[in-house]
A and B are shown apart, each in its own frame.
Chain A
Amino acid sequence: MTDTLALVDHGPEAIRAAAEQCSEQFRQHPTPQERAIAAAGRLPFQPQDHYGYRRDRCAVLDHDEIPPSVRSTIVDVLKQSRLMVGPRRFTLVRYRPGDFLLPHRDDLACSLFAVTSSDVDGLVMQTVDDSFVLITDRAGRHVHLPPGAWHWVDPVRRPRLTLMVSPPVRLLDT
């Protein structure tokens, strides 16, 4: 759920601008090859078996592929936001209109930061009482995603960018 952790005011814009500089390096998920394999297998979408990105539609820049200058911007923003940063892995996930992330669960907890804002797009996730909420995007907003929680992103209406940080961040001690 959302909490008091958030990116410093200028953080989302700084990350968005840095991501824009390396927009060509984002990898489409699934890759055309992965999509072809999924289609050839004629396996229908099964949420219980859905791990990874084979049937999703978004673009990802994984930690090891993020240019050092962009990674440095992310670290700076997290430090300025007084959030624990090291050692952490970062993933930038970009959605074009119509892109989506199908319902699934992850084994590991992570922090998700919205880098863009929208009144209609966002993350749907399972809560501790087994209810579900739609957390609309507010640039800088933090969502703690616990391990095993169902979550998804419905096809988005507007361009969307999120930063995933694993393990989750926490506030630096004062």
Chain B
Amino acid sequence: MRSKIPPTDELRRELLSRVEDNGSGLQRGPGSGLGGLPHHYFRLDWEAFSLPLRRACSAAVDGLSDQSRIAAWLHIIPTGGFILPIRPALAWAPKSLRTRVAFEEFVLSDGPGDGATVMRGQQAVRIDDFSGGRVLCQIHEWYWVRPVLGADRVSLAWLAPHD
């Protein structure tokens, strides 16, 4: 999937206002990472998005639609929050699809020094945040988000069929 020139400010505002409108849809990030320890982030699932929000997300990211994505959600990591090392496709995909999906993330916030790290083979690759940035993590690879130093980190995350 490719991203168009992303209206990230607009999308971030809309996502956050949606969360403020209906905080009940926001849940503490499920599952655990490294050593069974809990992550520290919040998540709003696609199913809780309003129709306009779904349209905005689909417009921001080509192909991110009800048909093509397996799961999509909003990540909000508050200052000091983190996602521990995890293999997202194996941890967050439905069991039957675990070995056939990749994880992607569309970053909607900026934060000097903040961002994710993914393993690519033998290499750890640091991907610093910038609004409109993309993170791709293949099926068996590890991914983590270091403790956030700046303002809340906001991103749209999804699992999509692996090519």
Q: Does A69 contact B (CB under 8 A)?
A: no
A-contact 0/1 string along B35-76, CB 8 Å cutoff: 101101000000000000000000000000000000000000
A-B contact number at CB 8 A: 62
Smallest beta-carbon distance B35→chain A, Å = 6
A46 to B, closest residue via Cβ: B142
Question: Which of B38, B117, B122 contacts A155 (CB under 8 A)?
Answer: B117
Q: Are B117 and A154 in contact (CB under 8 A)?
A: yes
Q: Are A120 and B85 in contact (CB under 8 A)?
A: no
Q: Does B136 contact A (CB under 8 A)?
A: no
Smallest beta-carbon distance A145→chain B, Å = 16
Q: How large is the interface on B (under 10, 10 to 19, 20 to 34, 35 or more residues)?
A: 20 to 34
B-contact 0/1 string along A132-174, CB 8 Å cutoff: 1110100000000000001000110100000000000000000
Query: Which of A45, A48, A124 neighbours the largest number of chain B CB atoms within 10 Å of its CB?
Result: A45
Question: Which of B35, B37, B112 contacts A120 (CB under 8 A)?
Answer: B112
Q: Are A45 and B84 in contact (CB under 8 A)?
A: no
Q: Are A155 and B85 in contact (CB under 8 A)?
A: no
Q: Does A17 contact B (CB under 8 A)?
A: no
Smallest beta-carbon distance A18→chain B, Å = 29
Given A47-B34, A119-B113, A130-B37, answer yes or no on A155-B147 (Cβ-Cβ < 8 Å). no
Q: Are A155 and B126 in contact (CB under 8 A)?
A: yes
Q: Are B146 and A154 in contact (CB under 8 A)?
A: yes
| CA of A160 to CA of B18, assembled, Å | 42
Question: Which of A35, A38, A105, A133 contacts B147 (CB under 8 A)?
Answer: A133
Q: Does A126 contact B (CB under 8 A)?
A: yes
Q: Does B91 contact A (CB under 8 A)?
A: no
Question: Which of A44, A45, A47, A121 contacts B35 (CB under 8 A)?
Answer: A47
| CA of A136 to CA of B85, assembled, Å | 19
Give B contacts to A, CB under 8 Å: 34-35, 37-38, 40, 80, 82, 84-85, 112-113, 117, 119, 122-126, 128, 140, 142, 144, 146-147, 149
